[in-house]
Chains A and B, each alone.
Chain A
Amino acid sequence: DQQVKQNSPSLSVQEGRISILNCDYTNSMFDYFLWYKKYPAEGPTFLISISSIKDKNEDGRFTVFLNKSAKHLSLHIVPSQPGDSAVYFCAASGGSGGYQKVTFGIGTKLQVIP
């Protein structure tokens, strides 16, 4: 049962243009949604998150949008840079009693072409 889905395994974007990565989820009880970035031979690093009670969060070139009615979130990167080339994981956290279970999607590989 895949509760967090990333349907695009890869994405190629020209440098300077916008990158849009998409994610769908099925569990309405998730409290937070997050994006992580992973370079080869490194562990994932936290990029940006959004609370389930908000619909937008922005941090520099990165913006995450949440559409609760559609159970969909997206990450926008503007402008895209070659250093943004990595695998991006969508994730969601939820649970009672402070239990820390984070559910990840399978990832989208972003390639930014100079």
Chain B
Amino acid sequence: KAGVTQTPRYLIKTRGQQVTLSCSPISGHRSVSWYQQTPGQGLQFLFEYFSETQRNKGNFPGRFSGRQFSNSRSEMNVSTLELGDSALYLCASSPRRQENTGELFFGEGSRLTVL
């Protein structure tokens, strides 16, 4: 079974630009969550999508947005990039069973550098 796939793995942008990151979940997983990892901050929850609808959102500005497609693939977008947006962006999928065990399957992440 293929794991969670994130593209691109690495990218460099300049301040003010926008970026789109892509995530393909494990086959059969319908929930996709996004996290931002920075040194000293751990993994910060961005949002979760299920059945093409955002179900939960973290404390990030509106410049951070996402969407999910009918095949469960997800994208996240960051507009008007700032230096502080430099981070590893992790996507995680889960089968989203009735019981919320919190077990997530992560991709390898997209490393964004903003210059």
Contacts and interface: CB of A to CB of B under 8 A. Distances in A.
Interface residues of A, number: 28
B102 A44 contact: no
Interface stretch (B13-21, B62-70, B71-79, B92-100): B92-100
Contacts, number: 79
A74 interface: no
Interface string B74-115: 000000000000000010101010101111111111000000
- Of the four ranges (under 10, 10 to 19, 20 to 34, 35 or more), the interface on chain B belongs to 20 to 34
A93 B105 CA distance: 14
Contacts of B104: 44, 46, 100, 102
B114 to A, nearest CB: 20
Interface stretch (A13-21, A62-70, A78-86, A103-111): A103-111
Interface in A5-46: 6, 31-32, 34, 36, 41-46
A100 B96 contact: yes
Contacts of A104: 35, 42-45
